[in-house]
Structure 1
Amino acid sequence: MTRTTISAATILAAGGLAAFSPAIASAADVNIYTSRQPELIQPVLDAFTEETGLSTATIFIDKGLEQRISAEGANSPADVIMTVDVGALDAAKQAGVTQAVTGEEINELIPAEFQDADHQWFGLTARGRVVYASKDRVDTDQISYKDLASDEWKGRLCTRSGQHQYNVALIAAYIEHYGEDAAREWVTGLRDNLARRPEGGDRDQAKAIFAGECDIALGNTYYVGKMATNEEEPEQKEWANAIKVIMPTFDNGKTHANISGVALAKNAPNRENAVKLMNFLASDEAQRIYAEINFEYPLEQGIPTSDLVKSFGDFQMDDISLSDVASHRGEASRIVDEVSYDGGPQS
């Protein structure tokens, strides 16, 4: 039988413990539980299958991924966990659903600062949490994270929910830099600069700028590339063309970065194949695919970013510990609720 990536095996489990078909577990050589949109990882999985002959099945779980695996226990078919956000990776580790990987290619290829200290998870790509700014209505090319809470931007800011993991991670990084009290004051300032209640995803913030609803927004870098090259929904090209990317900075002159990453499931039934996939994800070929097709920053040293991503400007990635950032996610989430950020501007 020809072994191919089983894209049809993707299950949409939007909120938790959706049923898992045993046929999928037996049909694939590596079973992947992921909170990444399947289309974002499919190209690299196809390349893995072409190189190794091993098939994969992706099971998309938007929320509660670690709870799902924990509930399945020793009989879980999960081999590999692929997710976005260092907080989600750390949550999987803290839930006890991952296991260490040592002495493998991935340990050598991924820089130590993007690996868990216990080798329970590994970063694969980075994305900057940056400012989308109107080309027509914003005449500056330099904004610090602190600046976003200043009166200059009152009524001009759009974001997605403050409780989204991308924003929680940014607030957690702010806590690591400046402390919890300063972060609370900052998030309050962001709230009062909002043009509307937080809603939608990062692409929706670019759309809002295009529509004149706000002048600046927070968003991840790779979405700009995805919008700018979207042939199926060409209106997104207009959204991308309406904005410029500004690299905001902390006092150290560097920009917040989050990661996508991978971990080996604790009870992986196909451990050997799973480790082969993890090693492949850290390889030159996979890192180039991430860079060219997904417009992400590869973590393996020496792999160039795409020309489009280079046009965003020099990305000086913040060098604070990602594990330290993850440790503040609880505080960050509480701050969002305490200041009623998702309720919109209140002054």
Structure 2
Amino acid sequence: MTLRMRILTAVLSTSVALPVASAALAEGEVNLYSSRHYDTDEKLYSDFEKETGIQVNRIEGNADELIERLKAEGANSPADVLITVDAGRIWRAADADLLSPVESDILEERIPAELQHPDNLWFGFSTRARIIFYAKDRVSEPPQTYADLADPKYKGQICIRSATNIYNLSLLASRIAENGPEEAEAWVEGLKNNLARQPQGGDTDQLRGLVSGECDIAVANTYYFARALRIEVDGLSEGTDGIGWVFPDQDGNGTHVNVSAAGVLTNAPNRDNAIRFLEYLSSDSAQEYFASGNDEYPVVEGVGLSASVTQLGTFKRDDLNLHALGEFQTEAQNIFNTVGFK
């Protein structure tokens, strides 16, 4: 039976009651609840199966829905590992006591300290940077820092997603952690005053705004642009030559990053296999697949970058522990609401 045929399937919705699943106790399997959905992951999983003999089963869905499912399943959950594509949601799982500490010398040695939970509840396995893009023919002096995005000289030029977006909540949470809430609120006020339009759409739409001329400056995650360099993205790929980019704060704290992360669940029926799977994700070969599958940066030093990411270049990363992105998430949303940033 192929791996794809073995994928556990479910219709996930928070608007209906979630069934309680029976625990899977087989020693030769690991059950993943994952919000990743990339075709390249198929080889990632099949290689793990070949190396270990451990069968991979998974449910894929929205992270918030998966977390609610885990709460409903409780001790009867078959899930061993939760994978999310941002630090904010893995924090929500940890905050709900769904994750358990993992003691692993391999993970401690290979994953940078700032990309793992302080108590080893989760580990990051790929990163993406939230950076500044700009139209090269219209912006001669682009912002060099996140603070610059609030400079009045950029009034009417900036496109960015809404305040409820987890990536923007995480970015603001990092500013609260590093500069305090008063500075963070003033920054949001200045950013709001510099918007070219009301926040709308996803990161790709902010980049499309540069091509269409609706925006001169856009804030987006690196992988959205790298993807447009690798494959055809309507309304963006044809204009990438006219777009420049800045990794902010290279002379300061470094550029803000987010992670795709995973943790072992508190009620994992196959705990040893789950830890082995996380350790596998930190291997050089798995790192290449895990990161390149979404045009991201691997977390393990020395692992090569994909062709699309190589074009963006390397950068100095902010070393703030990403646990803070969740810790200050509610405060970040309150600041957005206070300022009236939609």
TM-score by length of 1: 0.88
Partner of 2:200: 199
* Conserved 8 A contact 1:44-1:286: yes
- SS of equivalent to 2:312: coil
Partner of 2:183: 182
Greater CA drift, 38-47 or 328-337: 38-47
* Conserved 8 A contact 2:64-2:89: no
Partner of 1:280: 280
Q: 1:98 to 1:307 in 2, by over 3 A?
A: same
C-alpha distance in 2, partners of 1:214/1:248? 19
Partner of 2:158: 157
C-alpha distance in 2, partners of 1:162/1:208? 18
Q: 1:176 to 1:130 in 2, by over 3 A?
A: same
- SS of equivalent to 2:132: strand
* Conserved 8 A contact 1:14-1:62: no
Partner of 2:298: 298
C-alpha distance in 2, partners of 1:85/1:55? 22
Deviation at 1:144, TM superposition (A): 1.0
Partner of 2:271: 271
C-alpha distance in 1, partners of 2:189/2:223? 27
- SS of equivalent to 1:252: coil
1:16-40 CA-to-partner distances (Å, cap 9, x unmatched) read 6675695996999332222334547
Deviation at 1:321, TM superposition (A): 2.3
The reply on whether 1:327 has 2:327 as its aligned counterpart is yes
- SS of equivalent to 2:71: helix
Deviation at 1:295, TM superposition (A): 2.1
- SS of equivalent to 2:269: coil
Greater CA drift, 247-256 or 109-118: 247-256
Q: 1:108 to 1:5 in 2, by over 3 A?
A: farther
Deviation at 1:187, TM superposition (A): 0.6
Deviation at 1:310, TM superposition (A): 3.0
C-alpha distance in 1, partners of 2:239/2:179? 34
Q: 1:107 to 1:328 in 2, by over 3 A?
A: same
Q: 1:21 to 1:30 in 2, by over 3 A?
A: farther
- The AA in structure 1 aligned to 2:172 is I
Q: 1:21 to 1:324 in 2, by over 3 A?
A: closer
Partner of 2:289: 289
What does 1:167-178 correspond to in 2, within 5 Å? 167-178=168-179
Partner of 1:125: 126
- SS of equivalent to 1:183: helix
Greater CA drift, 31-40 or 276-285: 31-40
Greater CA drift, 298-307 or 68-77: 298-307
Partner of 2:29: 29
Deviation at 1:136, TM superposition (A): 2.3
The reply on whether 1:110 has 2:111 as its aligned counterpart is yes
Unaligned runs of 5+ in 2: none
Deviation at 1:261, TM superposition (A): 0.6
C-alpha distance in 2, partners of 1:46/1:203? 31
What does 1:71-150 correspond to in 2, within 5 Å? 71-103=72-104, 105-140=106-141, 143-150=144-151
- The AA in structure 2 aligned to 1:113 is E
Q: Could you list the runs of 4 or more consecutive aligned residues of structure 1 that deviate by over 6 angstroms after TM superposition?
A: 23-28
Q: 1:245 to 1:230 in 2, by over 3 A?
A: same
Unaligned runs of 5+ in 1: 343-347
